[in-house]
Chain A
């Protein structure tokens, strides 16, 4: 069973979901959405999914939700207002979110705001949305991007949009912050976990352990016997490919396949 990079990311994220989790997914992040849905449908018991602000939408084609987000309101049991969803998060009632920042560093700090160019000037990104908030409020965060290189994984972020582990857990406890920060990173080559430092939990089949360390701008522990990432159940992969995302819009989040996925989506939307 061969998985594409987008599928490896989906199942790497989905495997972090725990029974009882309340997972919130943002807008226009099909890999995160696919991971949450496939985890709920076929991998983990008792998972609540909140899509944008809609609670427990029925299984659906992600392309539909991308083109016509208002269908989510009809697919779910109800929709939070902006105030309600933000309050849920600040009260510590949401346990997991998958995020795709521009950078995540050796201390788990997140940058979604601005990148320093080689000449010293800033490249401004569109803005951090709730990154600074969920870094300290979301039960657990898992960062992902199909770019296992120091570009995505620098020693230090250029700008701290979201706090990491630089001040330790006591700093969070003192402020009664419900979030534990970034606990995992999934790339196109490996799954990393935070254990007072980054450690390779598993490596993608076909990737050499040395590649994992070489692609990180920060120190990462890679055991000599690091396992390969377990394959998902065949029926879960089938569900992703046939029901959750038959068009493959999850490829929008992988640079090499973005243009092809966008063309497929435009063609599909025009024929709808």
Chain B
């Protein structure tokens, strides 16, 4: 099977209840084409993993596709709360496993390094540590207490990138903006990696962020981050975001449509 696939084909192989990693940070570079495909396929009980979520988590929660969210934040930055997500967390229909940034990244790093856990200092003394069931251990050499964060390993991760070549080598962003490298980390931590791209190019030589042997599927999806921003291509679509936030009861449609 070619590495170049369609989203419906990819999503057909992701059962209900899967642990799904989502790339992008806040309102940037969210894999919204993939999110729309998961929602359209009627997936249920997904367990989402994302560092700092926004429209991605909100659209899937509003679509009724989510059982759990693991991450450090779900909101619309200055635009405010993610309404469906907030309501679902408050009524308990979706369980929020709230991580601090360091605890989440430590869990990814354990996975990246092929280790069962990663020591971390961040988060010490927080009520989040107990909620997450993270255990403090003693450094076997000095006795210094340190948190042991278990590996985070999504079944599949979706990221959205600028370009790939036909073999599946994925280009990094042309300008390395804030936290751009998170996408490669959550991709490599996962069992399967699906990358939606703005374009397929002849070569990404010299700017590869993920290599073909690490990628399971590439899907051509121009505009696939909208309404979140794709730095270097387009800003966040504030009109669509505000339109959704003005009337969230009408459902996640404005977050799942094609770019305006």
Contacts and interface: CB of A to CB of B under 8 A. Distances in A.
Nearest to A81: B181
Interface residues on A, range: 35 or more
Contacts of B124: 136, 163, 175, 177
B177 A123 contact: no
B63 interface: no
Interface stretch (B38-46, B95-103, B189-197, B200-208): B95-103
Interface stretch (A154-162, A196-204, A221-229, A235-243): A154-162
Interface residues of B, number: 46
Contacts of A79: 176-178
Nearest to A131: B100
A123 B90 CA distance: 7
Contacts of B129: 132
B9 interface: no
User: Which residue of B122, B128, B146 has the most chain A CB atoms within 10 A of its CB atom?
Assistant: B122
Interface stretch (A13-21, A82-90, A145-153, A182-190): A82-90
B90 A122 contact: yes
B250 interface: no
Nearest to B123: A132
A129 interface: yes
Nearest to A83: B181
A175 B175 contact: no
A252 B79 CA distance: 11
Q: Which 8 A-B pairs have the closest CB atoms?
A: A163-B125, A126-B75, A133-B122, A127-B73, A132-B100, A132-B126, A130-B101, A133-B102
Given A129-B72, A177-B121, 16 more contacts: A70-B232, A81-B181, A82-B182, A90-B102, A124-B89, A127-B52, A127-B73, A128-B72, A130-B101, A132-B100, A132-B125, A133-B122, A137-B122, A163-B126, A174-B144, A177-B124
Interface of B: 26, 52, 71-75, 77-78, 81-82, 86, 89-90, 96, 98, 100-103, 105, 120-129, 144-146, 175-182, 185, 231-232, 235
Interface of A: 27-28, 52-54, 66, 68-70, 72-73, 79, 81-83, 86, 89-90, 113, 121-124, 126-137, 159-163, 166-167, 171, 174-178, 252, 262
